[in-house]
């Protein structure tokens, strides 16, 4: 039964992707990418990747769509027809697709327990997590401890991208007179979204915090929680307008979250070195290595959550503030 469902979902994915590329209205394309992400997330869930499904649902279907929409508001919603080079592109794409499909016959079949990917380090993680970390979610253990270096790198990439967006869009941290006198934006006059959204926002934040602090025992962790909490604040600013959202979480607080989060992660690593261990080897932090690892993981997961939440909010507000400035100049 699951296989029929999986095949249905995968086919829907292909259909949605074709529709996204075919549509010449960019607004339609962006809304379809949201559906695409939701289908993708269901697919991940069918393939046993609960943590990834949670991330894809929060980031792909939520934040990506909002960022795309705010970019559309600043550019254009209609794609101009352009037919040049279409034939040759189709030939290239068709040839490459058939080559890749031909190559897949050499891959191990889906779910094959003897596939090379399952032989190397994965059994070690599965066998030792319970004993070394003392909690059951292997994904969190690998993410924050066994492969902590990778995660530190990823957090700094998010940090760098966030700084890049702020520089390119020239978003200022100060609150000049422009921000005080500006008119209310957002969905103030739409009653139903207003009421429903107001009720939802605190629960989304609560769920985000649950995902953050329950990440060791169930699907979740800093990346998902950061994205979920950021969506709550983005929803708030869509409902109440830029202005009110910036009053709730000012620009400096958003940047502070990103910087503190990334630093917290790095400092735990340095602290481990000072205590005589290796970088990000949490076991030296306390007498009992299992408790020490748990504490280290809780701290770095909190750092990841803060960094991701702050980065997503800064990026969203950088786009939103720019559109507000533009309309001000137009008026």
Verify binding: residue 109, another protein, rule CB under 8 A: yes
Verify binding: residue 18, another protein, rule CB under 8 A: yes
d(CA 61, CA 67): 11
d(CA 56, CA 39): 10
d(CA 280, CA 271): 8
Verify binding: residue 169, another protein, rule CB under 8 A: yes
d(CA 224, CA 51): 8
d(CA 317, CA 230): 11
CB of 291 to another protein, least distance (A): 18
Tokens of 329: 């100049």
Verify binding: residue 319, another protein, rule CB under 8 A: yes
Strand partners, 34: none
Judged by CB under 8 A, the chain residues 222 through 251 that form the site for another protein are 223-224, 226-227
* CB nearer to another protein: pick between 211 and 284: 211
Tokens of 234: 């983005």
* CB nearer to another protein: pick between 229 and 311: 311
Judged by CB under 8 A, the chain residues 35 through 74 that form the site for another protein are 36-37, 40, 43-44, 47-52, 55-56, 59-60, 63-64, 67-68, 71-72, 74
Verify binding: residue 311, another protein, rule CB under 8 A: yes
Tokens of 169: 């869009």
d(CA 129, CA 311): 30
Judged by CB under 8 A, the chain residues 118 through 147 that form the site for another protein are 118, 121-122, 125-126, 129-130, 136-139, 141-143, 147
Verify binding: residue 161, another protein, rule CB under 8 A: yes
* CB nearer to another protein: pick between 104 and 181: 104
């Amino acid at each position: 039964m699951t296989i029929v469902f999986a095949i249905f979902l995968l086919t829907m994915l292909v259909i949605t992707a074709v529709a996204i590329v075919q549509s010449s209205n960019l607004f339609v394309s962006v809304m379809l990418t949201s559906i695409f992400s939701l289908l993708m997330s269901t697919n991940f869930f069918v393939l046993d990747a609960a943590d990834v499904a949670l991330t894809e649902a929060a980031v792909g279907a939520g934040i990506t769509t909002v960022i795309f929409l705010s970019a559309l508001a600043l550019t254009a919603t209609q794609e101009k027809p352009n037919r040049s080079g279409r034939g040759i592109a189709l030939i290239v794409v068709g040839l490459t697709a058939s080559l890749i499909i031909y190559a897949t016959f050499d891959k191990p079949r889906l779910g094959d327990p003897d596939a090379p990917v399952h032989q190397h380090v994965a059994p070690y993680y599965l066998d030792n997590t319970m004993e070394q970390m003392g909690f059951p979610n292997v994904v969190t253990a690998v993410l924050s401890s066994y492969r902590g270096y990778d995660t530190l790198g990823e957090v700094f990439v998010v940090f760098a991208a966030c700084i890049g967006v702020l520089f390119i869009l020239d978003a200022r941290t100060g609150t000049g007179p422009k921000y005080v006198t500006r008119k209310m934006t957002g969905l103030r006059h739409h009653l139903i979204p207003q009421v429903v959204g107001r009720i939802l926002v605190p629960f989304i934040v609560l769920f985000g915090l649950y995902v953050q602090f329950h990440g060791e025992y169930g699907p979740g962790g800093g990346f998902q929680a950061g994205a979920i909490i950021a969506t709550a604040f983005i929803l708030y600013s869509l409902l109440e307008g830029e202005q009110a959202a910036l009053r709730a979480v000012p620009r400096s607080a958003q940047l502070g979250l990103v910087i503190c989060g990334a630093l917290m992660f790095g400092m735990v690593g340095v602290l481990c070195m000072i205590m005589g261990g290796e970088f990000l080897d949490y076991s030296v932090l306390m007498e009992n290595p299992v408790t020490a690892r748990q504490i280290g993981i809780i701290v770095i997961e909190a750092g990841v959550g803060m960094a991701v939440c702050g980065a997503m909010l800064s990026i969203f507000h950088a786009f939103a503030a720019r559109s507000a400035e533009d309309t001000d100049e137009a008026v």
